[in-house]
């Protein structure tokens, strides 16, 4: 049933769209049809994915596949690292079994395996067909031209910089609005490899974690397109089919070559994720050390997390979260923005199931499931500087706004999910 908490989530939908319109580069060019269409598409996708028994059963199968993939990965990790991988047979008595969940051995290796599988599925043309199918949907339903539609679909599965690689030769001729949209959509979604990693982190505290994470990344793409079009409206006269060069396809010489190159690409991602987490967590710890020198407030030391919780608590409430959980949820939103979504998911998984409402945990899963963070600003600048160096200055001028759009896109998705009956996501 639709109740007060669902109506509360609609506050978030309206506020996010109104905020983006208020800082739009052209407020007169508000895309009314796209706004209505994108929200309806998101709502229908959620209803279909969780309300249609056959599709819901398919999502449950995704969860089982994620568990199988995680277990298989652990076999490889255990072969290389032995008992450090957290295998049942330990050479000593465990006083705290939970401490055996080591992020470097339980989550990062999953990224390696998924990247290798993604390369193999692309070589077998399976992933390419799926991407082209989604690209056609974006082209027909959201008015995107072929190349940006394909890149948007590829981004959902491949990542914020990897997706645009598939239309690299088109990038110089894209309009400013289209280029901004690609960056914003990249920050509003996550890659296939990290989807599995997030599901692995959340599986013990969130029922159907894999289903929620997969759904979140897919339905956040329309939200990213919508907010990007509001902030930087399209110019129809510059978005014609003329002067578009053919795109180069990503090719592998054989299945073995795909596995090797996919593993190599995955290693780069793993090292980037690990290094980013180390540096940003260390910086926040330094800031917390400095803040700890001041007097306590409310009986506890001042920290970055507490400050972010206060700042983002109203936004968390607008997403449909009860006020008792809003400070905690707001802190997670701030951690996602400053420390990456990996850290935010890890911290949410550490919150006892009785500490926050299950509805809060579901909504926050959608709000956190995106690459919009400070680290991604650098990743996008570096990536696009290689892909389209002649537009680097233009990208530098829009990347922070794109991060803002990506951050709000996941919040918009969370609001739409919050507006749905909670029974939809039950057992």
Quick one: CA dihedral 272, 277, 280, 283, positive or negative? Answer: negative
Q: Mean pLDDT over residues 161-177, rounded?
A: 77
The residue length of the chain stands at 427
Phi-psi region of 242 (alpha: psi -120 to 50; beta: other; left: phi over 0): beta
Dmax over CA atoms of the chain, in Å, equals 70
Q: Mean pLDDT over residues 22-36, rounded?
A: 89
31 with 230: CB under 8 angstroms? Answer: yes
Residue in the block written with tokens 């209803």: 47
How many other C-beta atoms are found inside a 10 Å radius of the C-beta of residue 381?
14
Q: How far, in Å, are 119, 129, 261 from residue 253 at the CA level?
A: 11, 19, 10
Q: Mean pLDDT over residues 166-187, rounded?
A: 84
- What tens digit of pLDDT does each residue of 188-198 get? 988 777 787 88
Partners of 300 in the beta sheet? 297
How many other C-beta atoms are found inside a 10 Å radius of the C-beta of residue 208?
23
Q: How far, in Å, are 107, 117, 403 from residue 113 at the CA level?
A: 11, 6, 28
Distance CA 132, CA 140 (A): 12
Residue 58 C-alpha from the chain's centroid: 21
> Is 302's pLDDT higher than 90?
no
- What tens digit of pLDDT does each residue of 81-97 get? 877 766 666 666 656 55
Distance CA 309, CA 290 (A): 18
74 with 88: CB under 8 angstroms? Answer: no
Question: pTM for the complete prediction?
Answer: 0.82
227 with 21: CB under 8 angstroms? Answer: no
Predicted local distance difference test score (pLDDT) of residue 319:
92
* Paired tokens of 46: 């959620």
For the ranges 112-126, 199-213, 395-409, the one whose mean pLDDT is highest? 395-409
Distance CA 323, CA 342 (A): 25
SS3 297: strand
- What tens digit of pLDDT does each residue of 130-144 get? 777 777 777 777 778
Partners of 297 in the beta sheet? 300
pLDDT band at 243 (very low <50, low <70, confident <90, very high): very low
- What tens digit of pLDDT does each residue of 249-287 get? 567 888 999 889 888 877 877 787 778 778 877 887 888
* Paired tokens of 10: 């609609």
- What tens digit of pLDDT does each residue of 318-372 get? 999 999 999 999 999 988 988 888 889 988 988 888 888 888 999 999 999 998 9
H or E element in which residue 412 lies: helix 392-418
Residue ranges in 293-391 assigned as alpha helix (H): 304-318, 326-339, 341-349, 358-368, 374-387
Predicted local distance difference test score (pLDDT) of residue 272:
75
Residue ranges in 232-319 assigned as alpha helix (H): 255-291, 304-318
Distance CA 324, CA 318 (A): 13
379 with 198: CB under 8 angstroms? Answer: no
DSSP 420: S
DSSP 4-31: HHHHHHHHHHHHHHHHHHHT-S-GGG--
DSSP 300: B
């Amino acid at each position: 049933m639709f109740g007060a908490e669902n109506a509360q989530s609609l506050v978030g939908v309206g506020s996010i769209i109104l905020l983006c319109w208020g800082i739009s580069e052209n407020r007169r060019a508000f895309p009314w049809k796209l706004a209505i269409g994108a929200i309806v598409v998101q709502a229908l996708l959620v209803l279909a994915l969780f309300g249609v028994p056959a599709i819901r059963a398919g999502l449950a199968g995704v969860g089982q596949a994620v568990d199988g993939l995680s277990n298989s990965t652990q076999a490889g990790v255990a072969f290389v690292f032995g008992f450090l991988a957290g295998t049942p047979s330990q050479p000593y008595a465990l006083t705290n079994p939970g401490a055996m969940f080591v992020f470097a051995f339980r989550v990062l290796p999953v990224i390696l395996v998924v990247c290798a599988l993604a390369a193999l599925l692309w070589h077998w043309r399976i992933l390419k067909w799926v991407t082209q199918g989604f690209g056609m949907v974006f082209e027909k339903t959201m008015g995107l031209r072929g190349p940006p539609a394909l890149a948007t679909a590829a981004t959902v599965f491949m990542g914020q910089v990897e997706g645009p690689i598939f239309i690299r030769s088109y990038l110089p001729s894209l309009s400013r609005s289209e280029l901004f949209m690609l960056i914003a959509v990249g920050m509003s979604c996550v890659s296939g490899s990290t989807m599995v990693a997030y599901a692995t982190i959340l599986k013990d505290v969130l029922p159907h974690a894999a289903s929620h994470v997969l759904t979140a990344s897919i339905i956040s793409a329309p939200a990213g397109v919508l907010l990007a079009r509001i902030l930087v409206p399209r110019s129809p006269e510059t978005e014609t089919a003329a002067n578009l060069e053919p795109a180069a396809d990503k090719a592998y010489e054989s299945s073995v070559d795909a596995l090797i190159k996919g593993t190599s690409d995955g290693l780069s991602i793993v090292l980037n994720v690990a290094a980013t987490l180390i540096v940003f967590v260390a910086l926040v710890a330094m800031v917390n050390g400095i803040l700890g020198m001041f007097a306590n407030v409310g009986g506890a030391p001042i920290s970055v997390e507490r400050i972010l919780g206060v700042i983002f608590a109203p936004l968390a409430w607008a997403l449909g979260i009860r006020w008792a959980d809003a400070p905690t949820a707001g802190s997670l939103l701030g951690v996602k923005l400053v420390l990456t979504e990996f850290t935010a998911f890890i911290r949410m998984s550490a919150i006892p199931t009785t500490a926050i409402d299950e509805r809060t945990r579901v909504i926050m899963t959608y709000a956190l499931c995106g690459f919009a963070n400070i680290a991604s600003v650098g990743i996008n600048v570096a990536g696009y500087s290689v892909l389209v160096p002649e537009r680097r200055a233009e990208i530098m001028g829009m990347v922070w706004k794109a991060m803002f759009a990506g951050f709000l896109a996941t919040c918009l998705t969370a609001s739409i999910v919050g507006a749905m009956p909670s029974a939809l996501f039950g057992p």
